[in-house]
Amino acid sequence: MSGKQDRVVTEAVLPLRALRGRLAKNCAGIVGPLLLALTTPAALADPPPVTALAAPLPAPGAGPATLSPFTGNDAVEDRLDPASRLVLAGERLDDHLLRRFYLAHDYQMVWNRYPRQAAALWDLVRHAERQGLDPALFHSIGLRRHWAMLSPVERDLLLSDAFLSYAEALAGGAVPVADRDPNEALRAPPVDVVAVLDAAIATPDPAARIAALAPSSPEYRAMCRAYLTARAIAAGTTEPGFGRQQPTPARIAAAQWQLRQLAVNLERLRWLPRPMPADRVVVDTAIAQLQLFRDDRPVFTTRVVIGEFDNQTPELQSVISGILFNPPWNVPRSIFEKEIRPRLAVDRHYLAEHHMRWRGPGEVQQVAGPYSSLGRLKFEMADRFDVYLHDTPEKWRFAAAERLMSHGCVRVEHPNTLAAMLLGQTPQAIAAAIAVERTHGRELPRPIPVFIVYRTAIAESDGAIAFRGDPYQRDARIWAYLDRATPPASSREIVASQR
């Protein structure tokens, strides 16, 4: 059948399908041993035994290469029919990735031809906890419980989906973008995991090729080690560093909570670029702090004020391109409708009292000056949330322990110092630019990436883990996905999914 990507079943095509089926019987001497081995009703081991995945291939030259009348496998093609949801062993599979993967392999089963690679990759997946991930996310339960009930094609599909989804989790996060909070807009650069898996199959160490998709930063590695330690303690096993001493109930409870925070924040690290730019600005909204990094080292740290709970500052990546001195504030329409219009209804002098003026129907601007909500400096950056960094005349806010007080933008405690460092100028030059008392801007000699992140657990420079609060209450949603338990499917459900 031609056009595998856009498969359309019509009455005209069906006779060809039947003809291919009859011709396939002529090739039973070649195809038969492969299928026979895959129907062995042995339970899947960890890793799957090579004998459960494939029988020896025919020796080269055992038969003419032109005997096979078709390149694909009808059962594989049928399973990947775009018109149906792909569910096997009670678990949902990624139809899109699988279609691309099997299209590249002419809709043939794959792992019967690569048993060594399959065993190595499965060993990697079943130890997903080394990356702070639950192996159950990658069909470890379904394959182990239902291996004997699955057909050879279904086993092949489940293994492929496990390898592809694990690669995707390491490359950009296990939580699908569609399942993330709208304010979680950080995205790692896209990786073609189908191409990566194909390349891994051709290497002596396919597991290493897939594992390399994970972040390699010292912080990520330190948090992975901490996760394994917390996991051991939470399970009630011998506590590391204390000989044979068993952890106390209180220590077990603490480890269970730490395990959750570590898993969630390892996931957040997988949403970031690899490697992070050596020069960058990082705003951590979980602790309301900004840091400037040069050559991957923090050279400046200051407090910030971030969005209140109902106007949360999002996680995002952008670029600071310049500094605007004495900026006016164009009031967002949402703030005008929610806050300013009701006040105008009872105080017609409200705009004048707050140095504001009409710009158009429903559009208000606060003119530049010491009273401007943006203060004397605005750091120019573009993002879909219209969030940026700026000064503020309300310096008292930085002394507060909880600094969730803005409409979503980030107010910087020492903006003049940050501006001087980004522009490569002296503080006196920044003060002189402000003293001009008119709105004007300067471009940075080199735009600098800015990341607004949300970290409730971090690895310090000495490798120690610091656990923090969760002011925006975002951890629970991520944890619910990472720790979701796959309910055991009944035999009836398995049979129904196979149909």
Least confident of 54-68, 134-148, 398-412: 54-68
Helix, coil or strand: residue 35? helix
Beta strands in 361-439 (DSSP E): 363-366, 377-380, 389-390, 404-406, 410-412
Q: Report how far apart, in Å, the C-alpha atoms of 269 and of each of 26, 67, 171, 471 are.
A: 53, 51, 10, 19
Give the residue, 362 or 77, on which the prediction is more confident. 77
Across the range 369-383, mean pLDDT stands at 94
- Omega before 275 within 30 of 0, i.e. cis: yes
pLDDT exceeds 60 at position 12: no
Q: What is the DSSP letter of 400?
A: -
Average pLDDT of the chain is 84
- Residues 233, 247: Cα–Cα separation, whole Å: 6
Under 8 Å between Cβ of 425 and 443: no
pLDDT at position 89 is 84
Domain boundaries, the chain: 14-210, 287-328+368-453, 330-367
The model carries a pTM of: 0.82
pLDDT in tens, 442-467: 999 999 999 999 999 999 988 899 99
pLDDT exceeds 60 at position 489: no
Under 8 Å between Cβ of 158 and 139: yes
pLDDT at position 270 is 98
pLDDT at position 240 is 62
pLDDT at position 241 is 64
The residue assigned the tokens 């496990």 is 162
pLDDT at position 207 is 98
pLDDT in tens, 237-247: 766 666 667 88
pLDDT at position 5 is 42
Angle value at C-alpha 445, between 439 and 451, nearest 5 degrees:
85
The residue assigned the tokens 């303690």 is 233
- Residues 370, 392: Cα–Cα separation, whole Å: 9
Q: What is the CATH number of domain 287-328+368-453?
A: 2.40.440.10
Read off φ and ψ for residue 436, nearest 5 degrees.
-60, -25
Task: List all residues 6 or more positions away from 148 whose beta carbon is below 8 Å from its beta carbon.
Answer: 41, 42, 43
Q: Is 84 left (phi over 0), alpha (psi -120 to 50) or beta?
A: beta
Query: How are strands ordered across the β-sheet holding 363-366?
Result: 329-330, 363-366, 356-360
Percent of the chain with pLDDT over 70: 81
